[in-house]
């Protein structure tokens, strides 16, 4: 986690696209992040804000509003003026999982927001501590079935991507895995390293330093494709569980009613920033791949994710603890 907190401060980013040069002087675009500083959405938001600020036409800042599984940040953006100055840096948990798990969710991803851009997708890995006897995902599942009470897995909270990823593995494999929710990733990784929990799912950038230090083992990706930085590690599908596939993305949402021309201008500027080689290469080193699609593509992705997670929640019986 400390690595992610520090990485964005080290990134020297070239000047951004001039797409914002027509914005009124003195106005500030706020990228509202529903997490504390340090996670992948926060790192991405700071990188994008740094590039957009360097145009000289508009200042961009990151506004961290964590809590309530993203509801605090979502409601703030949803109720903001639809002028493109306040944007929600959301991830799959907010527009895919929350609608499936939370009956009284006070927002609808597609009714209360206008999709701007699906910026990136992230690599997530099922991992075990170095003391675990499991060296493959198949061995991990077999171990969970043989151990009385099963194996515990830590997540960054009920309803998180990690929670649903392990529920998908449990459903597909018949493994015996018991959920232990924590307040965030900063608590999960130490719990895994100390043996407090047996398994966790986390971002490649967070786990890789510990993998290199021999403190944990990344067994398989829950993403459909292998990570180019570690091509030797299989996907869960390749490891014998073809149904374990999840796309994890991060994107920007504007309040509903934001004019299409503003949405398109924002999309063009952010896409240009993400496609700069320095940006995409540094994100790739953290296990984050650039998508930079159109608003329509993002809307389609949100619909697919909402449908996929609704089916997963129903089939697995996953609940918010």
Collect all residues with Cβ–Cβ distance below 8 Å to 136 and sequence separation of at least 6. Answer: 219, 220, 239
d(CA 95, CA 152): 27
Same domain, 142 and 98: no
Same domain, 309 and 260: yes
104 falls within a domain: yes
Query: What residues make up the domain containing 263?
Result: 2-122+248-316
Which two three-digit tokens encode residue 304?
């697919």
The answer to whether residue 105 scores a pLDDT higher than 80 is yes
234 falls within a domain: no
d(CA 90, CA 88): 6
Report for 4-18, 55-69, 306-320: range of highest mean pLDDT = 306-320
Per-residue pLDDT band for 55 (boundaries 50, 70, 90) equals low
pLDDT at 176: 97
144: part of which helix (H) or strand (E)? helix 137-146
Collect all residues with Cβ–Cβ distance below 8 Å to 46 and sequence separation of at least 6. Answer: 8, 62
237 falls within a domain: no
Instruction: Pick the more confident residue, 13 or 144.
Output: 144
**Chain mean pLDDT for the chain:** 86
Which two three-digit tokens encode residue 159?
């309803």
pLDDT one-digit tens code per residue, 180-199:
998 777 789 999 999 999 99
- Which CA distances in Å does 261 have to 1, 200, 250? 37, 42, 22
Same domain, 17 and 92: yes
107 falls within a domain: yes
Same domain, 148 and 95: no
Burial of residue 235, with CB atoms counted within 10 A of its CB: 0-12 exposed, 13-18 middle, 19 or more buried: buried
CATH of the domain at 180: 3.40.190.10
CATH of the domain at 109: 3.40.190.150
321 falls within a domain: no
Same domain, 25 and 98: yes
Same domain, 134 and 167: yes
Same domain, 298 and 193: no
240 falls within a domain: no
Split into its structural domains, the chain has a count of 2
243 falls within a domain: no
Percent of the chain with pLDDT over 90: 59
Same domain, 57 and 111: yes
Same domain, 113 and 22: yes
Percent of the chain with pLDDT over 70: 90
pLDDT at 26: 52
The answer to whether residue 281 scores a pLDDT higher than 50 is yes
Same domain, 111 and 158: no
The answer to whether residue 277 scores a pLDDT higher than 80 is yes
Which two three-digit tokens encode residue 5?
């907190």
Instruction: Pick the more confident residue, 229 or 6.
Output: 229
pLDDT at 288: 84
pLDDT one-digit tens code per residue, 209-261:
999 999 999 999 998 888 888 889 999 999 999 999 887 899 999 999 999 99
Same domain, 92 and 156: no
266 falls within a domain: yes
Same domain, 51 and 133: no
Provide the whole-model pTM. 0.81
The answer to whether residue 17 scores a pLDDT higher than 50 is no
């Amino acid at each position: 986690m400390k690595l992610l907190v520090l990485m964005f401060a080290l990134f020297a980013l070239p000047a951004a696209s001039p797409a914002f040069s027509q914005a009124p002087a003195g106005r500030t675009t706020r990228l509202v992040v529903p997490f504390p500083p340090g996670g992948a959405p926060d790192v991405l938001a700071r990188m994008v804000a740094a590039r957009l600020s360097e145009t000289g036409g508009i200042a961009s800042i990151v506004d961290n509003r964590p809590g309530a599984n993203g509801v605090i940040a979502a409601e703030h953006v949803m109720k903001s003026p639809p002028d493109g100055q306040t944007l929600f840096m959301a991830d799959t948990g907010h527009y895919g999982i929350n609608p499936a798990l939370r009956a009284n969710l006070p927002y609808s991803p597609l009714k209360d927001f206008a999709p701007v851009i699906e910026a990136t997708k992230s690599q997530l890995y099922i991992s075990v501590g170095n003391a675990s006897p499991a060296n493959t995902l198949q061995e991990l599942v077999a171990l969970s079935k043989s151990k009385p009470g099963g194996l515990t897995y830590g997540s960054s909270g009920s309803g998180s991507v990690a929670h649903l990823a392990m529920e998908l593995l449990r459903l597909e494999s018949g493994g015996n895995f018991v959920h232990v929710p924590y307040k965030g990733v900063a608590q999960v990784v130490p719990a895994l390293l100390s043996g407090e929990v047996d398994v966790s799912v986390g971002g490649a950038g967070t786990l890789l330093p510990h993998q290199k230090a021999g403190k944990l083992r990344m067994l398989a990706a829950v993403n459909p494709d292998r990570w180019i930085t570690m091509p030797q590690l299989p996907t869960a599908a390749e490891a014998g569980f073809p149904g374990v596939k999840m796309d994890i993305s991060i994107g920007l949402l504007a309040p509903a009613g934001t004019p299409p021309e503003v949405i398109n201008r924002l999309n063009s500027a952010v896409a240009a920033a993400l496609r700069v080689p320095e940006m995409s290469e540094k994100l790739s080193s953290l296990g984050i791949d650039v998508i930079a699609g159109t608003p329509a593509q993002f809307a389609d992705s949100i619909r697919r994710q909402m449908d996929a997670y609704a089916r997963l929640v129903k089939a697995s019986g996953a609940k918010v603890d």
